[in-house]
Chains A and B, each alone.
Chain A
Amino acid sequence: MTEKPAAPRTLPRHSATFDDYTLSEIRRAAATGIYDIRGGGAKRKVPHFDDLLFLGASISRYPLEGYREACGTNVVLGSRFAKKPIELKIPITIAGMSFGSLSANAKEALGRGASAMGTSTTTGDGGMTNEERGHSSLLVYQVLPSRYGMNPDDLRRADAIEVVVGQGAKPGGGGMLLGQKISERVAGMRTLPVGIDQRSACRHPDWTGPDDLEIKIEELREITDWQKPIYVKVGAARPYYDTALAVKSGADVVVIDGMQGGTAATQDVFIENVGIPTLPAVRQAVKALQDLGLHRKVQLIVSGGIRNGADVAKALALGADAVSIGTAALVAIGDNDPALEAEYQALGSTAGAYDDWQEGRDPAGITTQDPDLMARLDPVLAGRRLANYLAVLTLEAQTIARACGKSHVHNLEPEDLVALTIEAAAMAEVPLAGTNWIPGKNGGF
C-alpha cells in the first residue's frame, strides 16, 4: 500500500505588520510595564538626502578643477545682530551633547577634533565644563529649559548662545538622564542629588511663546553686551512657522533638527513617531527665510542624519548655511565600533545597533560616567579621528560643489538637484529625475 502524499503546505509567513521587532517590543512591554527608552534618532526609513542626486556640470555648466581651483567652505554665523559673529572654516559644526550624557573624555575629544578643523562644538543640558571650554576654540553655550549649570560667567565666555526650544528626536519633549549616569560631578553641576533620575523640563521656565522669547533674547543680549551670536534651535515639526517665529524673536541663527537627529535618551515611541524628517524641514525653513527676505542674513544650520559630504552638500544646496552633526561625530570617535562586538553582545545588543546610552555602560567610554569605561577613550586619538572625519566631509562636499561649477559650497543651489522619488521631490521641491515635475508645483513631465 502506497502512502498518501502529504498535502502541500504554505511556508510559515511572518506578518509585515507584526514583524519580529514589533513582537519583541510587545513582549518586552508586557514583561516590564514601562516604555522603551533609548538614545539616538529615528531608525525607521524616511525620505532623506539619499533620495536626491546632483546633476553636475555638462555643456551648459562649467565645472571647477578638483584640488586646484578654490572652493570655499567658510561660514559666518551671527552677522544679523551680534557684535562678534563667529566664522567657521568648514560648514559643519558639532551639535549640543551634554557632559553627563557624554563622558568628559568624549567632550574633550569633540572639542579637540572640531578645533583642529576650525569649527565649533556645543555644550548641552548640563552646563559648561572647563575642559570643554579649554579644548573648544569655538564653543556654543546652550540655554535649555532645565538651566542646569546656567550662569552669566559661562554665557560671557561662550562664543555663541543657543536657545534650545526642542530637538528633532523629540520635539515637545524634555531631557532625561537616568540615575546611573548622575555621578557626583554631574549632580553637582545640575544641583541635584546623586543617583536620581533626572527629568529636564520640556518648557522654558521664564518664557512662553514668541513674544516672550523675543524679550528673553533681548535679556541674553543685554547680559552679554550684544556681542554673542544667538541661535534658536527647534526640532523639526512646523519648520516654516518656527523659523519665521525664531527670526521674529531676534535670532541671529536658526537651527533646525530633523527626526533622525539623536538624543541622549528618550522614549522610543517619541523618537520614531514625533517630528518630521530633515529633508522637508530644510526646504520649509529656507522658504521662511526667503519669504522674510533674510535668507543668508539669518543663517540656517541643519542637523539630523548628516553622514557624509554628499549630505552636507545637499543640505547647503537646499539653502542651509551649515550643518551640525552629533551621532556621526560619536561614531567617528568610536561609538558602536565592531571591535567591541563581544561587549555589545554582552549588553544584549550588537555593534551598530547599541543605543542604550542612558544606562551608562557604553564599552566605548563615550556615553558613560563610569571612570573605568571612560578611561578607555583616548581624547587625543579620538579627537584626531573626528578631525579626519570632518576633513573628509568637507572634501566630499567640495568635490561635489566643484563638479557643479561652484567656487564656494554656499553657491550650490536647488537647481543642482533632482530627486529619485516622488516623495523626496515633493519634500525638497526639486524635480523628479529626468522630468521637470515637482509634485504640487507644476503639472508637466
Chain B
Amino acid sequence: MTSDPFVFDLAHQTVRDLNAALHALPPGSNETLWRVENPRGLHAIAAGVDADAAIEIGGSVGYYCAGMNKRAAITVRGNAGVGVAENIMSGRVHIKGDTSQAAGATGCGGTLLIDGNASARCGISMKGVDIVVKGSVGHMSAFMAQAGTLTVLGDAGESLGDSIYEARLYVRGAVKSLGADCIEKEMRDEHRAQLFEKLSLAGLAGEVDVSEFRRYGSARTLYHFHIDNLGNY
C-alpha cells in the first residue's frame, strides 16, 4: 500500500513555496511522495532538492528543473527546458519528453534519463553523471566532458565530444561529426558491460543490443599544449 502524495498545484502555489517545502524535508521524513501539477513551463522547479523523495511533475517544465539534485527521483511527464538536472549530484531524473539545450550540464553523479531527444550540448562539461537518451542528441554534446557516460540510442549531431576528457560516449546511431580530440574507440567487454549497466539503469536491460553501439572518447592529444596540434585549436 502506498501513501497519497503531497500535491503541489503550481496554478495556485509558487515555485518558491514548492522548493521551500522540499528543502525543509528533514532527514528520514515520511513525506517521500510528491506530485506537482500545472508546472506550465516554470523555471527551477524542484531545484536543489536533497532528500530521498519521489517527485512527479505532471507536465512540461522550464529551465533548470531538478538543478543540482541530490538523492531525489524526479520524473517530468512532459518536456524540459534548458539545463534540466544541471550539476546533478545523485538520484535520478527522468524526462518523459524532449529536452532543450545543456541537459545534465556539469552533472557530477546520478542518472538522467531522457525518453525523447536532447538538444545541443547535452552533457556539456559532465563530471560523472550517467545520461541515457533514447532519442538523438544535438550538436556539441559532451563538450569538454570530464567523466561519466553519455548513452545515445539515436543519432548524435555535429562535433560530438569536442575537447573531451575522460567521459565515455556510447552512440547507437549515426554521428554527424566528432569534435576536436574525440575519436572512436574499441568496444571491449568492459565497455559492453558498462553500457549494459547504464542501459539497465534506464530500464532497458535486454531491450537493446549493446553490440549495436560504438564507443567514443578522448584521443588525449590535447591534454598538453603542443605547437604541432595547432590545427586542432
Contacts and interface: CB of A to CB of B under 8 A. Distances in A.
Contacts of B131: none
B121 interface: yes
Interface in B86-121: 86-87, 89, 101-102, 105-106, 108, 121
Given A151-B87, A218-B44, A219-B64, A197 B225 contact: yes
Given A151-B108, A191-B128, A205-B124, A219 B146 contact: no
Contacts of A152: 48, 50, 68, 70, 87, 89
A205 B84 CA distance: 12
B67 A147 contact: no
Nearest to A145: B125
B110 to A, nearest CB: 12
Interface size class of A (residues with CB under 8 A): 20 to 34
Nearest to A151: B89
A144 to B, nearest CB: 11
B68 A196 contact: no
A316 B19 CA distance: 39
A223 B47 contact: yes
A146 interface: yes
Nearest to B19: A222
Interface string B220-233: 00011101000000
B225 A34 contact: yes
A47 interface: no
Contacts of A408: none
B62 interface: yes
A201 interface: yes
Interface string B62-77: 1110011010000000
Contacts of A196: 165, 223-224
B43 A219 contact: yes
B153 interface: no
Given A201-B125, A205-B125, A222 B47 contact: yes
B185 interface: no
A192 B82 contact: no
Interface in A193-215: 193, 196-197, 199, 201, 205-207, 212, 215
Given A152-B50, A205-B105, A205-B121, A215 B43 contact: yes
Given A152-B50, A212-B82, A219-B67, A179 B224 contact: yes
A191 B129 CA distance: 12
A270 interface: no
A222 B50 CA distance: 13
B43 A225 contact: no
Contacts of B70: 152
- Helix, strand, loop or mixed for chain A's interface? loop
Contacts of B47: 219, 222-223
Contact of B106 (A197, A206, A222): A206
B102 A215 contact: no
Interface string A141-169: 00000110011100100000000000000
Contact of B15 (A146, A199, A222): A222
A216 interface: yes
Contacts of B208: none
Given A196-B223, A222-B16, A223-B48, A201 B144 contact: yes
B108 A206 contact: no
B201 to A, nearest CB: 20
Given A152-B48, A201-B144, A205-B125, A34 B89 contact: no
Contacts of B23: 225
Given A34-B227, A205-B121, A206-B124, A193 B87 contact: no
A147 B125 contact: yes
Interface centre among A191, A196, A207 (most CB of B within 10 A): A191
A215 B143 CA distance: 22
B48 A212 contact: no
Given A191-B127, A191-B128, A216-B64, 15 more contacts: A32-B227, A146-B125, A147-B87, A192-B146, A206-B64, A207-B83, A212-B82, A215-B63, A219-B43, A219-B67, A222-B15, A222-B19, A223-B44, A225-B20, A225-B23
29 contacts: A32-B227, A33-B227, A34-B225, A147-B87, A147-B125, A147-B127, A151-B108, A152-B48, A152-B89, A155-B48, A179-B223, A179-B224, A197-B224, A199-B163, A205-B102, A205-B105, A205-B143, A206-B101, A206-B102, A206-B106, A206-B124, A215-B62, A215-B82, A218-B43, A219-B83, A222-B47, A225-B19, A225-B20, A226-B16
> Lowest 10 A-B CB distances belong to which pairs?
A223-B48, A206-B83, A196-B223, A219-B64, A147-B106, A152-B68, A206-B102, A33-B227, A191-B127, A219-B44
